[in-house]
Structure formats: structure tokens, C-alpha cells
Amino acid sequence: MERWHERDTLISTSPQMASWSPDTPCSCDCFVSVPPASAIPAVIFAKNSDRPREEVQEVVFVPAGTHVPGSRLQCTYIEVEQVSKTHAVILSRPSWLWGAEMGANEHGVCIGNEAVWTKEPVGTGEALLGMDLLRLALERGSSAQEALHVITGLLERYGQGGSCREDPMPFCYHNTFLLADRTEAWVLETAGRLWAAQRIQEGARNISNQLSIGTDISAEHPELRPHARAQGWWGGQGAFDFAQTFSLTQQPVRMEAAKARFRAGQELLQQRQGGITAEAMMGILRSKESGICMDSGGFRTTASMVSVLPQDPTQPCVHFLTATPDPSRSVFKPFIFGVGVAQVPQVLSPTFGAQDPVRSLPRFQTQVDRRHALYRGHQVALGLMESEQDRGQQLWQKQRDLEQEGLEAVRGLLAREWAPPPQELGGLFQAFVEKESRVYA
């Protein structure tokens, strides 16, 4: 059971143990802007999900639900206890797993996660993936802080672990999270079952595959400092710097590269301070020069998301999702929770039941084709952009025009110049997916 104390700390037991490969490639970038950094009275969230190149990411809508007391919930690898009520969520997720890389719920909570390695060894045993924790937090938390408590409670009870890619060779890591709602944001960084959190009530912040919380800790695991002292990582006197204390002394190459992306992200946010909009965030996610728009070796940006969370609770939150790789050649399409929202079939991957390689033991011994309809059309479009300059340019322009149409609709909605019926709002994402599909057809 979790027990919160003066500094929102959680009573704990010992951290888990395991191993990791220092050469494993990975990257992701999350961003948030809280007024007055935003150009409008809204919190703006953004994430690029950088994953294995051939991995397909689907966009999944899960309606709110009520559940039988004591029932169990199957996550990617393990079961957990279900709660009595869960919130509606929109998820962008690697199509082979249960959790999600990023998403939002009906209460305007957004979360993105990042891989991180610390002095705490990574567990090879199957537990909750960071992506499972993300989805569970969205389904159970009605604010960013409440979602953070969900993650830390589940982390304490079940731990984090298991392979994070669809491959017989395990790829395991710990996680950092960026959580946002209409009023504030939180950065949560973990090392095994230990964690530290930082509250962001104004300004802009980003995270990129490394520990970034220094001495400005708003909440922490109660055993965090005693453990660091027992391990000889901290002397127990003076300021406690979480990132300095728990970061690896010798960083792997990919984590060194993450430092450059983190600094580039900071600079891009700083350049736009006071003027950050959804479009500005999309521009940052499309930055190839900085490496934020990833295309390196076996990894690339496989999906992207930008959310506008107005401080005025009477205005809807808007979530732009690509459902396709490479945001520089993808369309951010608006999704709004509302009447008539349903799963969009064109962005849902096929399922394979008990024969799915993630379900068959040993896992991931075979491969299946998880491409959804929009992904297939987008693949053809990317091929044309690379092989036929004129047609490729025409396709790219159609993508930009369609995205502008969505952005203009959202501007009109938030300025109260456009007041469509609720059913139309609920079908907005479906309408734009269908328009994009026709572009590729």
C-alpha cells in the first residue's frame, strides 16, 4: 500500500536488480510549455516516439469503463489488479504491446515516457513496462499529479522490467516520464523502484533519455537518499543532486548523444519562450538538424503527438497525432474527446490472438505484419517523396495543406468562432484520417 508524507514521499522496499547493454540504441524527446511560455492560456505537450525502424505504431481509443471489484488486468507481460473505474484514453502505441509511448485521457492529462539507464541495474525479469505504467496512469489519473501517484504506487508494488522491443534479444530500460494537465506539468524520473519528481508550474521543459532532475526535487521516494548514501554515491551532507548522484559515471554513446538533443531541445524552447504554440511544437518535433526528428541506423521517429490543454475548463483539449513515422513527412491530425468518439479502423493494426509472437513462449521467435491501412498508404507516399521529386513535392504539400486545415479548425474552435455539434467534434480525427488516406490513394 502507498503512504504519502509531507514531501509526497512513498514508503518503499528494496530496488530491483538486473543488467543492460550499453550499446543498445534508443532515443525519445518530450516537451511541455506552461504559461507564460505558451502563446495562449494553455499547457502545450509534445513528444516524438523514437523506436526500432520497422516497428508500427497504432492509435487506439479506449472508452471509459467500469470493472468488477477484484478483477485482474492483463498488461504486456503481467497481470495487475484492476480498479473499479477507468477513464477514456487515446493512445499512440507500438502495436505489439498493451501500454503506450504517449497518450491522453478525457480529463486532459497527457503523458510521454523515455528510456533511461542509471546506476541502478535494469531488471531482466518481466514486470510492468514503462509504457504499461503510462497507460495505467492515464486510465486511472484525473490530473498530472494523480497520474504520477498511480505510476509510483504501481512501480512500488510490481516493479518495472521486461523487453521493450519485439525481438528475441532483450532490450530493457528504466523510465522517465513527462506528465501534463491543464494547469501544470511534472517530470518523474525512476531508477528501479526509486524515483524523484519535479513540478513545473510555469515555463518550458524537456526530457531526453537522461536524468535531468538536479536539486530541485518536489517529491521523492523516501529511500532515495538513504539508498544513495548506503551505495556510496552521496555523502549525506549538502545538496542532493538526483541526476548527478544516480547517472552512470561512464555514459553509453547513445546517452551522450541524448545530451546534445536535450540541449538542442532546451534552446529551441528558449527561442520560442512566450510564443509557443502547437505549430511551434510541431516544428521542434520536425527538427532533423538537432536529431530530435530521429533517423539513425536502426531507429527513427515512429510516431508523434502534440496536445493543447486550455486552462479554461470549458474549452476542449485537442490532441494532434500522426500515427505514421517521420513527422517531417507526416500529418498531425486533431483528436477531441466527445460524443460519438470511436476507434478509427485505418490506424488500428491487425491482431493475431494466441499466435502473436508476444504471446507465444519463448517470445518473439517469429515476425508478423502489423502495418495498419494508413501506415501502408504513408509508406507508398514516402517512397514517392524519395524517388519522384515532383510527385513527392506535391504529396508533401497536400500533407501540409491538410494539417493547416486541422490547425485552422482548432484555432476557430478555441477562439469560439466555430461551434460544431458534439458529434462532429467526436468524429474529427476519423475525418482527417480519411482525408489523409485519400491523399495517398
Longest dimension (CA), the chain: 65
Distance CA 177, CA 141 (A): 14
- Taking only the tens place, the pLDDT of each residue in 372-390 is 999 999 999 999 999 999 9
How many angstroms separate the Cα of 340 from the Cα of each of 16, 159, 250? 44, 37, 52
Q: Is residue 7 over pLDDT 90?
A: no
Q: Is residue 22 over pLDDT 60?
A: no
Burial class (CB in 10 A: 0-12, 13-18, 19+), 311: middle
- Establish if 128 belongs to a structural domain: yes
Evaluate whether 183 touches 107 at the Cβ level (below 8 Å).
no
- Establish if 55 belongs to a structural domain: yes
Q: Is residue 426 over pLDDT 80?
A: yes
Distance CA 121, CA 183 (A): 35
Q: What is the pLDDT of residue 257?
A: 77
- Taking only the tens place, the pLDDT of each residue in 147-193 is 999 999 999 999 999 999 999 998 899 999 999 999 999 999 999 99
In percent, the amount of the chain with pLDDT more than 90 equals 88
The question of whether 172 is a catalytic residue gets the answer: no
How many angstroms separate the Cα of 126 from the Cα of each of 75, 120, 152, 275? 11, 17, 18, 44
Identity of the amino acid at 270: Q
Cell of 237: 551532507
Cell 524552447, located at residue: 269
- Establish if 135 belongs to a structural domain: yes
Q: Is residue 434 over pLDDT 90?
A: yes
Q: Is residue 26 over pLDDT 60?
A: no
Distance CA 347, CA 434 (A): 10
How close are the terminal C-alpha atoms of the chain, in Å?
53
3-state secondary structure of 207: strand
H or E, element range at 175: strand 174-180
- Establish if 180 belongs to a structural domain: yes
- Taking only the tens place, the pLDDT of each residue in 74-131 is 999 999 999 999 999 999 999 999 999 999 999 999 999 999 999 999 977 999 999 9
Identity of the amino acid at 21: S
Cell 458529434, located at residue: 423
Distance CA 356, CA 232 (A): 45
157: nearest Cα among 362, 13, 324: 13
Q: What is the pLDDT of residue 5?
A: 32
Q: Is the pTM of the predicted complex or chain greater than 0.95? A: no
Q: How many domains does the chain have?
A: 1
Q: What is the pLDDT of residue 258?
A: 85
Evaluate whether 68 touches 344 at the Cβ level (below 8 Å).
no
Domain CATH for 279: 3.60.60.10
- Establish if 431 belongs to a structural domain: no
Active-site residue (options: 26, 28, 110, 293): 28
Helix 130-140 crosses helix 144-158 at what angle (to 10 degrees)? 130
- Establish if 4 belongs to a structural domain: no
The mean predicted confidence, pLDDT, of the chain is 92
Distance CA 145, CA 185 (A): 8
Distance CA 424, CA 405 (A): 15
Evaluate whether 265 touches 290 at the Cβ level (below 8 Å).
yes
3-state secondary structure of 340: coil
How many angstroms separate the Cα of 312 from the Cα of each of 309, 424, 438? 9, 21, 35
For residue 71, what are the domain limits? 29-355
Q: What is the pLDDT of residue 254?
A: 66
- What's the whole-number mean pLDDT along residues 324-342? 97
Cell of 25: 540504441
Whether the CA torsion 368, 370, 375, 376 is positive or negative: it is positive
Distance CA 124, CA 112 (A): 23
- Establish if 361 belongs to a structural domain: no
- Establish if 390 belongs to a structural domain: no
Q: Is residue 36 over pLDDT 50?
A: yes
